[in-house]
Amino acid sequence: MRLYTAKDYNDLSRKAANLLSAQIIMKPWCVLGLATGSTPIGTYDQLVEWYRKGDLDFSEVTTVNLDEYKGLPADNDQSYHYFMHKHLFDRVNIKEGNTYLPDGMEEDPEKECSRYARLINRLGGVDMQLLGLGHNGHIGFNEPDEAFEKEVHCVDLQERTIEANKRFFASADDVPKQAYTMGIKTIMQARKIVVIVSGEEKAEIVKKAFWGPVTPKIPASILQMHNDVTLVADEAALSLIG
């Protein structure tokens, strides 16, 4: 694992955007795996800035997102489809037909999970996967469990995840209780993985995930087994690392 230490969130965002932009420049037709949440927003803003300066071209890039809430239509302002268009897709020259997310409105989990897994396989897999890190060690919506979930699957969200997300909704009752997500095996098949983590409140889980034992109780710990992982974290998130 490579570790890049950032001074603060803005520095972290630049460093992560550097890695993604290098991938795009080296392979303009690359497949990027993208994440949502508050942490990647700065990274996307930096990519947009470089695009506007003429330094980046997204015209051949394909993207596949990690996850999507089950039961939220794409035009709901809390859907990940909406998030990606707001923070990246509508601000660069990526083709609409080259951006893929799970279909949150598909009620048949088996059908949707199979469709999305086949899609990723048809695209030739992910060249670089961007990940955030949940407070409980989840990546995507792969929650702590007794075993590592393998393929794309439908997950019941844990109370802590629902609690963390309720600030985005009118009430906790409005937070979806399920989501479609890439599984651990799907994530681990990406050729390169970039994990971005910010803030002192993530320091304990960073230590457990990357310097502790590999266990499905901390899903992100499996990333220690990948041969090309880069952790980009600010000093606050690394404050417990000696």
* Full set of structural domains in the chain with CATH: 2-187+212-225 (3.40.50.1360)
Neighbours of 22 (CB within 10 A): 11
Per-residue pLDDT band for 68 (boundaries 50, 70, 90) equals very high
* Averaged pLDDT for residues 54-82: 96
- As a whole number, mean pLDDT of residues 65-83 equals 95
pLDDT of residue 91: 98
At residue 242, the pLDDT reads: 75
User: Residue 16 has what pLDDT?
Assistant: 98
Phi, psi of 126 (to 5 degrees): -95, 130
3-state secondary structure of 194: strand
Retrieve residue 175's tokens.
Answer: 């937070």
Q: Is 158 exposed, middle or buried (0-12, 13-18, 19+ CB in 10 A)?
A: middle
Active centre residues (catalytic): 67, 136, 138, 143
The pLDDT value given to residue 181: 97
